[in-house]
Amino acid sequence: MAEFARLFNATGNRWVDSALAGSGTGANPVIISRILGGNPMGATQMNTGRDAEELIKAGLLTDLTDIAKEDGWYDFFADKTLLKPCEYEGKIYCVPINIHSWHWLWLSPKAFEKAGLPVPKDWNEYAADFGKLREAGVVPFGLAAGWPLNGIPQVLLAGVGGTDLWMKVYGDKDAATVRGPEFRKVAEAFAQIRDAVNPAEVVPQFADVANQIMQGTAAGNIHGDWIQGEFSLAGAVAGKDYDCIPGLGLNDRIEGGGDAFYFPKLPEGTDPAVIEAQKTLARLLVSKEAQLAFNLKKGSMPIRTDIDLSGANACMKKGLEILSSPDGLLPSGEVLLSSDTQQQLVDLNQEFFSDKSYALDDYIEAYAKIIEAAD
């Protein structure tokens, strides 16, 4: 964010942070409450998805369609589907700033060397090593408390289950598929992680997992590509100090979600200069300079490919190669599922993971019922 602030301040405007406690979508209720309560911020960041639908319907977010057309957003976006989550009834209401994906397996070469094992090439090889890693005194699967668990089941859904299963479950809301053999493999893989994780070894933050991977005390982790920000801060080199495998090494497609900026409509009487500053920021966020500076620091992929990415590390280059394929990106679960359905799945997954006596069949049936009622 400091990169955006630096560039915005250079325009003669002033960036003022109003950070919220916590991480991820936990901030959304506070953001939405402020806007609904008549105390909107000049700009706010949320994940791309359906969380802002009600604000758009209520006429509380600024229509950015004219800016998008004037600046040619439809021409330079790396994948046109990235704009879909920002569209409502043919108009654009947000600015995607990156392409993020949960669909990555991160591995520690140092940990596998310690255990006398080759670094796995995919999820199946990695999971087969859990017992040997434990015997060698290595944490098989590093995990941080709270929200980092939430993305793991969806990565397994697309990787272990396959991308067709992803679309049937999330896209078609096909509960019968959830009750079928392919989804059972996904649930079994999630249970395998549950059984491999010692609750006493769960660390407070995902940055701690990044440190475990670099130090070789944990063998690996499923996490979004933003974990690369932590590796970058530590000076770690992709392919040497850590390895990265998109799609769990089981397919060549990854989910294409990300972060986006929204611009609330400001109260009557607001200084026109502030409204102009909103437009300036919207344009700046997708500029070549801002896209390069922000994404190289954060470890995410830029939303445009007409920039010099020679400074991208080995992991970003893997992501960019997938992005170059017409079908490389899967629609984000945050786009396909409502916030309510997403939260129900989060609650179920957390409950299943925290209780090793929770039967697999009961988990599958509970999951199927959520998908059956999903909107």
Here the CATH number for the domain that contains residue 181 is 3.40.190.10
Question: Does some domain include residue 328?
Answer: no
The span from the CA of 329 to the CA of 276, in Å, is 34
- 3-class secondary-structure state, position 305: coil
Same domain, 312 and 245: no
Question: Does some domain include residue 9?
Answer: yes
| C-alpha dist (Å) from residue 172 to 161, 168, 178, 223 | 15, 5, 11, 25
Q: pLDDT at position 49, please?
A: 62
Same domain, 9 and 74: yes
The predicted model scores a pTM of 0.83
Range of the structural domain that residue 286 is part of: 2-100+256-321
Question: Does some domain include residue 6?
Answer: yes
Same domain, 317 and 349: no
CB 230 within 8 A of CB 215: no
Same domain, 198 and 277: no
Question: Does some domain include residue 316?
Answer: yes
244-275: pLDDT as tens digits:
999 999 998 998 778 899 999 999 999 999 99
Please state, as a whole number, how many other Cβ atoms lie within 10 Å of the Cβ of residue 203.
18
149-205: pLDDT as tens digits:
999 999 999 999 999 999 999 999 999 999 999 999 999 999 999 999 999 999 999
Same domain, 203 and 351: yes
Same domain, 128 and 251: yes
Same domain, 261 and 250: no
Nearest 5°: phi and psi at 363?
-65, -45
Same domain, 169 and 216: yes
Question: Does some domain include residue 331?
Answer: no
- 3-class secondary-structure state, position 184: helix
Same domain, 241 and 112: yes
Beta bridge partners of 222: 105
Same domain, 92 and 142: no
111-129: pLDDT as tens digits:
999 999 999 999 999 999 9
Same domain, 188 and 282: no
The span from the CA of 365 to the CA of 332, in Å, is 23
What amino acid occupies position 216? G
Same domain, 113 and 245: yes
Domains: count for the chain: 2
